Amino acid sequence: MSLLLKLARDSRWILFVALITSLVSGFGNAGLIALINQALSATSAHLAELGWQFLLLGVVVLLTRTLSQTLFMYLGQHAKATLRMQTIRRLGDASFRHLEQQGASRSLAVLTQDLDAIVMLFVGMPALAMQSAVIVGCLVYLSFLSWKILLVAILTIGIGAAGFRLANGRALFHLRASRRREDELVKHFRALFDGAKELKLHRQRRDAFIDTTLATNVEAVRVQRTRGYVLYAAAASWGSFILFAFIGITLFVVARLFPVDTHVMSGYAMVFLYMIMPIEALLSAIPNISTARVALERIEQVNAELPLENTQTPPSVDAFDSIVLEGVTHRYFREKENDVFTLGPVDLSFRPGELVYLIGGNGSGKTTLAKMLVGLYPPESGRILLNGKPVGEAERDIYRQHFSVVFNDFFLFDSLLGIRVDGLDQAAQALLVHLQLDHKVSIKDGAFSTLNLSQGQRKRLALLVAYLEDRPFYLFDEWAADQDPLFKDVFYRQLLPELKARGKTVVVITHDDRYFHLADRYIKLEYGQLVESGPGEDLLARYAGAPHATLATQ
C-alpha cells in the first residue's frame, strides 16, 4: 500500500479537508437522529428551538457532504492519472528484456482495470467516512442513554466484526485469484483480434479457442468472482442479523434484567434501526476496498518487476570511430524447441561507411545479435566497446542513440515523435516522393495522414522515419521481405549505397542471396555461432545467376 500512502502524502491537505468534511457530515447525521429523538418527548416551547437546530445541522450536513464528495472525486481522478503516468514512465524506462519477459497483457490490465479500481475506492471514500462517523456518533449518543446497554452493543458489534473478518479473508483470496486469471484473459482477448485471420480461416481452431481456451478462463473468473462477492454478501447479511439480534436482546433480555426507562429503550431501538443502513453501506463498500487493495498490489508488483535502467541525458550523437563486440553471448529459452538457445561468443567490429550483410538460416540468432548490437539486450558475457570504451549499464542508453533500426516486427507511430529538424514536413515530403509513397500519404505538422497501408508500404514509412533520425548506424531486419521486386531492387542498389555514401554504417539482415555480392562484408550465423565472414564479392560466384532461393531453405 506504499503507493497509496505516497499519494496521500502528496495531496495531504486536500485529503485532510475531505476527511474532516466527511466526518462532520457523518457526525451531523448522528446529531440529526439525536434531535429527532429529543423532539419526540419535547415540550412545545422547546420544539421550536430544536427545529432551528435541526435546520442548521441539516444545512451543514448537506454542504459538508457535497464538499467531501467533490474533493474525493478530484483525488480519485488525480490518483488515477498519477499512477497511470508513473506506470507508463516505469514501462518507458525499463529494460527491453524485462518488458519482453513481462509481456503486454499485465501492464495493459494495470493501466486500465486496476486503475479504475483505485478510482472507485476514492469515489466510495466519502460514504465510508460519513457512515463510520454516523456509527461512532450514534454509539456516543447511546453511551449517554445507558452505558450498560452500550457494553452489550459493543460486544455484539465485536462478534459481528469477527464473523465478517473471517468471510472477508476468504473473499479476498478469491478476488486475488480471479485477478490473476484476468491477466490471461486479456492476453486471449488480444488474440481474438491479432489472430482474426487465422481464426476465420479455420473453423475448428476458432471453436476450440472460443469454447475451450476462452470459455474455460471466463468461467473460472466468473466462479471465483462469484464466490468472493457471495462471501461479501454473507458478511453483510451477518452484520444485519447481529444488529437485529442486539435489538432483540436489548428489548427482551436486558430490559428484564436491568430495568431501563421507556424513553431510553425507545431511543436505543430507534438509533440502532437507523444504524442498520450506515452499517450495511459500510459493509457493502468493503468489496471496493478489497478490489482496490488487490489493484494496488498488482500495480506495485508490475513496477517492482521492471527495474529501471540507468539513463542519462544523451549528448548530441556524433559519428563514431568503431563499435566492437568482444566475446559477447546471450541465452534465452525457446518454447517451441523446448531448449535454451545460446548466441555466441561473437567477436565483431564495425566502422563508419561500410555495408554489412548479416545472413543465415531462420533461428540462427541474427535478430538476437542485432538486438544485442544496438543495446536492447546487454551481453551476458563479453563486452561491447564504443570508440574503445566499454559500454556499461550507465552508458547503454547513450550508446543506443547511435542507431536507427527497422526491425521485422517494427511498430510505426502516427507522427514523427521526437524528431526536431528544421523544415521537417518538407524533408519528409521529399522522402515520400523518393520512396514512392507521395500518392498514398502526406505529412502535416509532423503527422502522417494515414497508416492504412500495406505492410510493404508501412515499412517504407518506417524507413522514412529512420532517414529523418539521421543517426550514424543503420540496421534493417528483413526490411525488403515485404517489398515488390522492383522496389526491392531500389532498396539494395540505390537506398543502401546512398546511406553508405553519407558515411553511415549499415547492417542488413537478409535472405535475398541475389544481392549478397553488393555488401562490403558479410557475416553468416548458424545455430548462434559465427561460421563465416568475408567480402560480399566472394559470394558472387556462389549465388549470382542461380535461381533465387533463400538461406532459410538451405
pLDDT digit of tens for each residue in the chain (554 aa)?
Answer: 555 566 667 777 888 888 888 888 878 877 887 788 778 777 777 888 888 888 999 899 889 888 888 888 888 778 878 888 888 888 888 888 878 777 776 777 777 777 777 777 777 777 777 777 777 777 787 777 777 777 777 787 777 777 777 777 777 788 778 877 777 787 778 788 778 777 877 788 888 888 888 888 888 888 888 888 788 777 767 766 776 777 777 767 766 676 667 667 677 777 777 776 777 677 666 667 777 777 777 777 777 777 776 666 555 667 789 999 999 999 887 766 667 889 989 999 999 999 999 999 888 999 999 999 999 999 999 999 999 999 988 888 889 999 999 999 888 888 888 888 888 999 999 999 989 899 999 999 999 999 999 999 999 999 999 999 999 999 999 999 889 888 899 999 999 999 999 999 999 999 999 999 999 999 999 999 999 999 999 888 777 555 444 443 33
Q: Is residue 443 one of the residues assigned to a domain? A: no
Domain assignment present for residue 423? The answer is no
> 186 and 239 share a domain?
yes
* Residues 48 and 179 occupy one common structural domain: yes
Output DSSP code: residue 449: S
Whether residue 400 lies inside any domain: the answer is yes
Q: How far apart are CA 384 and CA 546, in angstroms?
A: 38
- Residue 220 and residue 103 share a domain: yes
Residues 17 and 98 in one domain: yes
Q: Which residues contact 200 (CB under 8 A, 6 or more apart)?
A: 206
Does the residue 201 lie in any domain?
yes
CA distances for 368 relative to 362, 437, 488, 527, angstroms: 12, 31, 24, 12
> In the chain, helix, strand, coil percent, each to 5?
65, 15, 20
Instruction: Give yes or no: residues 333 and 300 share one domain.
Output: no
Quote the number of domains for the chain.
2
User: Looking at the structure, do residues 228 and 363 belong to the same domain, yes or no?
Assistant: no
Chain Cα centroid distance, residue 85: 10
Q: What tens digit of pLDDT does each residue of 328-386 get? A: 999 887 766 667 889 989 999 999 999 999 999 888 999 999 999 999 999 999 999 99
Give the count of alpha carbons within 13 A of 139, CB side only. Answer: 18
Its pTM stands at 0.70
Q: Which domain holds residue 379?
A: 323-417+451-553
Q: How far is CA 499 from CA 32, 105, 373, 380, 384, in A?
A: 81, 38, 19, 32, 24
Residues 6+ apart with CB under 8 A from 167: 231, 232, 234, 235, 238
